[in-house]
Structures are given as structure tokens and as C-alpha cells.
């Protein structure tokens, strides 16, 4: 049986991480999205109770579920509240991601961790990831893509970008940088190339 390799996938908001993750999953890799785990955690009664205490009833819809848009508008408006949200969610998300990586029988595992460099050293074991991949895209293109898919205003997008480590700083910390400045087919081609190279290392 091949050994396992766990790869951290990160980048900035709108840089193309999800498209890259979908591409390597289609090739046979295990793909774990921390954002998807967060969405599941927001349905947890324990998490919802903690959120209600900090953010109030206004972040819940008529069915008692967390309105992620309302929560995001509040949390991304104030750094202190964003940190409190992260304190509720991050350890739970890391635990689930690590459990899934341990359980899978697939040898190549990509974990999409948006805030890897911002929060990673406090949360992830130093030897959990064998490699770090950053998906890079030009800032202007990222803003355009986010506007199309999310409906956020330009000022809201910039506010969220400014709460993250600059993408150029993440590039300096990466083992591998994937250039997403061209097209989706080009990004998928780069995903295939990296997947093939990593398979040979197993």
C-alpha cells in the first residue's frame, strides 16, 4: 500500500482554491474543504448556542439556522468579533479535517485551509502537512470573480481581503505556487501536472 501524503492547499479569497481542489478530486485525490466543514458545524446546536451568545439572534433565519451572510457581515466588520468566531470554530474544524485524512484510504490528500498561515501554527501539528500549495491569482481578477459569485460589494470584498494575510506573503511561505492568472482550463491543467508529480513521490 502506498504511503499517505497530506497537502495543505491555501491562497486568498477568490484565488481559485475550490476549483483546484475539485480538479485534484476528479483525478482521484481525497479533497477536504475546511469551509464545507464550517458549514456543517454551523448546524451544531452547541455551536449555534455559542454564536447566539456572542452575535445575538439577528444571525439566525426563521428556521433557527445560522444565516451565514448575516454572520459574515458582523464578523468581518470587526476584527475582535472575527477572532471570537474563529475561536469557536477552528479547533472543531481542524479535528474533523484530521480525522477525515486519517480515515481515507486514498494516498494523496489535499486539505483546503483558507487561513493556514494566519492560524495554522496554533492549530495544526507541525508535521501534519508534508507540503503547502498556494493558489495565486491577480487581485483585480479575484475581486471580479468574487463579485460575480457572491453578490458582495467591492468594499465588502476588500474588507475581507484586508483581514487575511496578503496573498503575496503566502506565496513566499509556500512550497509550491500555482499560477491562476489565465483560465479555468489552465488551472485544471496545472492541477493535473502537480497531481502527477506528487503521485510519483508516493
CATH number at residue 133: 3.40.50.300
Dist. CA 38–CA 33, nearest whole Å = 9
Give strand ranges (E) for the chain: 5-11, 30-33, 108-112, 131-136, 176-179
Q: What is the pTM of this model?
A: 0.91
| pLDDT single digits (tens) 168-186 | 999 999 999 999 999 999 9
The three cell numbers locating residue 29: 485525490
pLDDT score for 120? 66
Work out how many domains the chain is built from and give that number: 1
Dist. CA 83–CA 80, nearest whole Å = 5
Q: Give the residues across from 31 on adjacent strands.
A: 110
25 phi/psi in degrees, rounded to 5: -65, -40
Residue 9: CB atoms within 10 Å: 27
Which residues of the chain, if any, have pLDDT below 70? 1, 120-121
Domain of 10, in residue numbers: 5-201
pLDDT score for 145? 93
pLDDT score for 46? 95
Which residue has cell 479535517? 97
pLDDT score for 1? 58
pLDDT score for 195? 97
Amino acid at each position: 500500500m502506498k504511503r499517505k501524503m497530506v497537502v495543505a492547499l491555501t491562497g486568498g479569497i477568490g484565488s481559485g482554491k475550490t476549483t483546484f481542489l475539485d480538479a485534484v478530486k476528479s483525478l482521484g485525490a481525497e479533497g477536504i474543504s475546511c469551509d464545507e466543514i464550517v458549514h456543517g458545524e454551523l448546524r451544531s446546536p452547541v455551536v449555534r448556542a455559542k454564536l447566539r451568545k456572542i452575535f445575538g439572534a439577528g444571525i439566525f433565519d426563521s428556521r433557527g439556522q445560522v444565516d451565514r451572510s448575516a454572520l459574515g457581515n458582523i464578523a468581518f466588520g470587526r476584527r475582535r468579533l472575527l477572532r471570537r468566531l474563529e475561536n469557536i470554530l477552528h479547533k472543531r474544524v481542524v479535528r474533523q479535517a484530521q480525522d477525515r485524512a486519517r480515515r481515507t484510504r486514498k494516498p494523496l490528500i489535499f486539505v483546503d485551509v483558507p487561513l493556514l498561515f494566519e492560524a495554522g501554527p496554533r492549530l495544526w501539528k507541525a508535521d501534519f502537512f508534508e507540503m503547502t500549495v498556494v493558489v495565486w491569482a491577480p487581485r483585480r481578477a479575484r475581486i471580479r470573480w468574487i463579485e460575480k459569485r457572491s453578490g458582495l460589494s467591492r468594499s465588502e470584498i476588500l474588507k475581507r481581503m484586508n483581514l487575511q494575510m496578503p496573498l503575496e506573503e503566502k506565496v513566499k511561505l509556500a512550497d509550491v505556487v500555482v499560477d491562476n492568472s489565465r483560465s479555468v482550463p489552465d488551472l485544471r491543467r496545472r492541477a493535473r501536472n502537480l497531481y502527477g508529480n506528487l503521485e510519483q513521490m508516493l
